[in-house]
Amino acid sequence: MEWLEASTENCPVQHTLDVVGEKWTLLILRDAVNGVRRFDDFHHHIGLSESVLSDRLRKLTSAGILRTVPYQEPGSRPRNEYRLTRKGWDLWPVVVALRQWGETYAPDPQGTVLDVRHTECGAPVRAVVECSAEHSVLTPKEVTARLGPGARLRS
Domains of the chain: 3-142 (1.10.10.10)
pLDDT of residue 1: 87
Please state the pTM of the whole predicted model. 0.90
pLDDT of residue 100: 96
Single-letter amino acid code for the residue at 42: F
| Contacts of residue 118, Cβ cutoff 8 Å, sequence gap at least 6 | 124, 125
| Contacts of residue 127, Cβ cutoff 8 Å, sequence gap at least 6 | 93, 94, 96, 97, 100
At residue 50, what are phi and psi to the nearest 5 degrees? -60, -40
Residue 59, Cβ neighbours under 10 Å: how many? 17
pLDDT of residue 11: 93
pLDDT of residue 142: 97
Positions of the chain with pLDDT lower than 50, given as ranges: none
Characterize the bridge pairing of strands 66-71 and 79-84. antiparallel
